[in-house]
Amino acid sequence: MARIAVTVDGTAREADVEPRTLLVHWLRDDLGLVGTPVGCDTSNCGSCTVMIDGRSAKSCSLLAVQADGTQITTIQGAANGEWHPVQVAFKDCHALQCGYCTPGMVVAAIDLLSENPDPSEAEIREGLRGNLCRCTGYHNIVKAVQQASELMKEAAK
């Protein structure tokens, strides 16, 4: 077992984990943070995307021990008292169908907008290339990211 100390959604956590424990399994099974789903388990779909030290990462593709000492934000920490503008825009634009990819899409979109606050449609599609929607509802997802970009620019004024 290895000792890790990680801040998850603002709460300091310490745990003993088996080195082979995947980060997503630690979040879900040990911490009960089941808002982060396991989608494909092959590093492709991006459903399990979380923020590690402010940058997106696929939590099925990391060991929990690799996250030692980091700050993690899951979809359950995305809202800060009120919904994040990306969450608002996903609701307003109906940017989900079955919803399984949504947590990862929202986190990936937050990451994209933190680096590029005013992305073109092509840049949005490129920025979300690691997130698959098997309902193929990409059109409204792109619209939602565009709306979130507007909301965040307004809020920053």
Should residue 22 be labelled a site residue for another protein when binding is judged by CB under 8 A? yes
Should residue 66 be labelled a site residue for another protein when binding is judged by CB under 8 A? yes
The site string for another protein over 89-128 (x = CB under 8 A, - otherwise) reads: -------------------x--xx-------------xx-
DSSP secondary structure of 84-152: -HHHHHHHHTT--SS-TTHHHHHHHHHHHHHH-SS--HHHHHHHTTT---TT--HHHHHHHHHHHHHHH
- Work out which of 61, 71, 76, 146 binds another protein, going by CB under 8 A: 61
The separation between the first and the last C-alpha atoms of the chain, rounded to the nearest angstrom, is 49
The site string for another protein over 125-144 (x = CB under 8 A, - otherwise) reads: -xx-xxx-------------
CB of 18 to another protein, least distance (A): 7
Instruction: Give a three-class secondary structure readout of 44-72.
Output: CCCCCEEEECCEEEEHHHCEHHHHCCCEE
Q: Which of residues 13 and 125 has its CB atom nearest to another protein in the complex? A: 125
Should residue 5 be labelled a site residue for another protein when binding is judged by CB under 8 A? no
Q: Which has the closest alpha carbon to 134: 40, 48, 34, 51?
A: 40
User: Which residues lie near another protein (CB under 8 A)?
Assistant: 2, 18-20, 22, 25, 41-44, 46, 49, 52, 55-58, 60-63, 65-66, 68, 108, 111-112, 126-127, 129-131
